[in-house]
């Protein structure tokens, strides 16, 4: 009987979420929700020097803003006793062994191997240490780091993104699982958590592929079921370079400040790397309908802030006014319905609102023409007012085209560009229009 699908997003609370790890969260959440599975949030906070509660709280807040809810929560700092048990089992089974080389000694070994044309793989010299030699190192004040002994042979898995994946264990270094100071490294703690928290699918960046090869053997050594893995190509910017600071390091806080909807971020990242266009949806749950992780390709996806902004515009136009009213002070549903297509970002809304309700500095270059046009302003105030007025002004003055329309626009709005005057004019109080036309 197959296990219910269960994924995890496991950020380290050592900084703010940025585009790369937001994407990992989005893909895991979409994969789970599309399959009726569960999404686990796990704080990988074993790095006590850099992890802070402030960052952990920020991650929780950011995920909530993005609309990525979770079904379970865990914190690695609460689970040290579970890692102790795993450590003891691996030592008892002969799969975890102490090593006493210093960082400098290891660097020298690697340099020597490379100079001889050999891969820089740990030589397992520590396995030959006698008890007396170990005691001598301990007496010197050295404390061991602990390595996991890999078993030679093929390591294979069917990757959700990369397809068939293969490593030969004899060409990998035995990984360090425990530091000299006794702290557990990600490789061990993550596998213990994934086993005990019943994670079935692990989806992460392709920079973890070699880790996966090691962890497959670690899952087996600890008696756990090996999960299904998926490794996504890492994102670059639109020019194919490493993500720029503006895009790659942008935090949720920055996206909010830029007036970008959470839906735009989630929809964009869910489609990035697939042949599909991002969905324009009014709820994050709708984005999971029909989601298929098999749509991701092997090519490096290029992220573009311009594309995010374009999608953001389409999404804010699709949202009900009630959902965005707090970002549009002074607006109402009727005004939004009439003018929303002129608002690409919320920052523009204030300027457009000013055209309707005040705050305009009229631009009048031909006072005689504007004065005559003001006398022809219709009493009827509806969707036909602009055409009725400009037809009358054209007949009275002989002006047409840009020479007719632009002076009127500048006098009423103070701007050479903006919403169509036929739409805008009826939204402005007639008395206000006359005031702006006054010379």
d(CA 375, CA 393): 9
Indicate the average pLDDT of the chain. Answer: 93
- CA 99, CA 133: separation in Å to the nearest integer? 11
The encoded tokens of residue 152 equal 């030679």
Q: What is the mean pLDDT of residues 30-56?
A: 94
Q: Domain map of the chain by residue range?
A: 333-437
Residue 284 has pLDDT above 90, yes or no: yes
Instruction: List, in sequence order, the alpha helices (H) in 165-236.
Output: 186-196, 209-221
Residue 291, CA distances (Å) to 26, 275, 380, 391 in order: 11, 13, 52, 53
pLDDT per residue as tens digits for the range 101-158: 999 999 999 999 999 999 999 999 999 999 999 999 999 999 999 999 999 999 999 9
Structure tokens of 134?
């170990």
Above 80 in pLDDT, residue 53?
yes
Q: What is the predicted pLDDT for the residue at 67?
A: 97
Three-state DSSP at 347 gives helix
Tell me, what's the pLDDT at 252? 85
The predicted model gives 59-69 an average pLDDT of 97
- Residues 244-264 pLDDT 10s: 545 556 678 888 888 899 999
The predicted pLDDT at position 428 comes to: 95
Percent of the chain whose predicted confidence (pLDDT) is above 70: 97
CB 230 within 8 A of CB 293: yes
Backbone phi, psi, residue 236, to 5°: -120, 175
Tell me: pLDDT of 221 over 90.
yes
Question: Is the confidence at residue 408, as pLDDT, over 60?
Answer: yes
Report CA dihedral (313, 319, 324, 330) to the nearest 10 degrees.
80
The number of residues making up the chain comes to: 439
Tell me phi and psi for residue 163, to 5 degrees. Answer: 80, -155
Please tell me the chain's helix, strand, coil percentages from 3-state DSSP, rounded to the nearest 5.
50, 10, 40
Query: The whole model's pTM is what?
Result: 0.88
The pLDDT tens digits of the residues spanning 162-180 come to 999 999 999 999 999 999 9
Architecture of domain 333-437: Orthogonal Bundle (1.10)
Report the C-alpha gap between 185 and 47 in whole angstroms.
Answer: 9
- The pLDDT assigned to 1 comes to 56
Least confident of 170-184, 209-223, 228-242, 304-318: 228-242
Task: Check residue 257 and give its pLDDT.
Answer: 85
Q: CB under 8 Å to 30, separation ≥6 — which residues? A: 270, 287, 288, 291, 293
Q: For residue 8, what are the β-bridge partners?
A: 40
- CA angle in degrees (0–180, nearest 5) for 17-319-336: 120
Map 25-77 to HEC letters: HHHHHHHHHHCCCEEEEEECCCCCCCCCHHHHHHHHHHHHHHCCCCCEEEEHH
Q: Can you tell me which residue has the tokens 């009727």?
A: 334
Note whether 388 and 377 are within 8 A (CB).
no
**Does residue 333 contact residue 378 with C-beta atoms inside 8 Å?**
no
Name the pairing type of β-strands 72-75 and 38-43. parallel
Q: What is the pLDDT of residues 362-404, one digit of tens each?
A: 999 999 999 999 999 999 999 999 999 999 999 999 999 999 9
pLDDT at 237: 76
pLDDT at residue 199 is higher than 90: yes
């Amino acid at each position: 009987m197959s296990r219910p699908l269960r994924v995890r997003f496991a950020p380290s609370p050592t900084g703010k979420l940025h585009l790369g790890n937001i994407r990992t969260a989005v893909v895991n959440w979409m994969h789970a929700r599309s399959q009726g599975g569960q999404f686990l949030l796990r704080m990988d906070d074993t790095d006590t020097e850099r992890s802070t509660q402030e960052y952990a709280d920020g991650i929780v807040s950011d995920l909530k803003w993005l609309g990525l809810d979770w079904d379970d929560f865990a914190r690695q700092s609460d689970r040290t006793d579970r890692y102790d048990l795993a450590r003891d089992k691996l030592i008892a089974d002969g799969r975890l062994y102490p090593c006493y080389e210093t960082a400098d000694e290891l660097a020298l070994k690697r340099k020597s191997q490379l100079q001889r044309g050999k891969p820089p793989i740990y030589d397992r010299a520590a396995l030959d240490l006698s008890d007396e030699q170990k005691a001598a190192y301990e007496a010197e004040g050295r404390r061991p780091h602990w390595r996991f002994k890999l078993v030679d042979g093929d390591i294979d898995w069917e990757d959700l993104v990369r397809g068939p994946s293969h490593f030969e264990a004899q060409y990998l270094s035995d990984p360090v699982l425990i530091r000299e100071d006794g702290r557990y490294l990600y490789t061990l703690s993550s596998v213990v958590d994934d086993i005990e928290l019943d994670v079935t699918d692990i989806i992460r960046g392709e920079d973890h592929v070699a880790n996966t090869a090691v962890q497959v053997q670690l899952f087996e050594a600890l008696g756990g079921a090996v999960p299904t893995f998926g490794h996504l190509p890492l994102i670059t910017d639109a020019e194919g370079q490493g993500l720029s600071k503006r895009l790659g390091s942008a935090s949720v806080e920055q996206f909010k400040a830029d007036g970008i909807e959470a839906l735009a971020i989630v929809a964009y990242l869910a489609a990035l790397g697939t042949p599909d266009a991002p969905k324009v949806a009014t709820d994050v749950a709708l984005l999971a309908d029909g989601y298929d992780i098999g749509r991701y390709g092997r090519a490096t996806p290029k992220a573009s802030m311009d594309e995010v902004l374009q999608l953001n515009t389409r999404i804010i136009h699709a949202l009900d006014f009630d959902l965005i009213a707090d970002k549009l002070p002074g607006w109402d549903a009727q005004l939004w319905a009439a003018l929303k297509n002129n608002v690409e970002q919320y920052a523009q809304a204030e300027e457009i609102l000013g055209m309707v309700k005040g705050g305009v500095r009229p631009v009048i270059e031909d006072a005689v023409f504007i004065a005559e046009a003001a006398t022809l302003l219709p009493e009827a105030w509806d969707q036909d007012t602009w055409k009725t007025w400009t037809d009358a002004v054209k007949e009275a003055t002989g002006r047409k085209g840009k020479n007719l329309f632009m002076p009127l626009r500048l006098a009423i709005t103070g701007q050479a560009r903006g919403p169509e005057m036929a739409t805008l004019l009826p939204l402005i109080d007639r008395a206000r229009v006359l005031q702006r036309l006054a010379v």
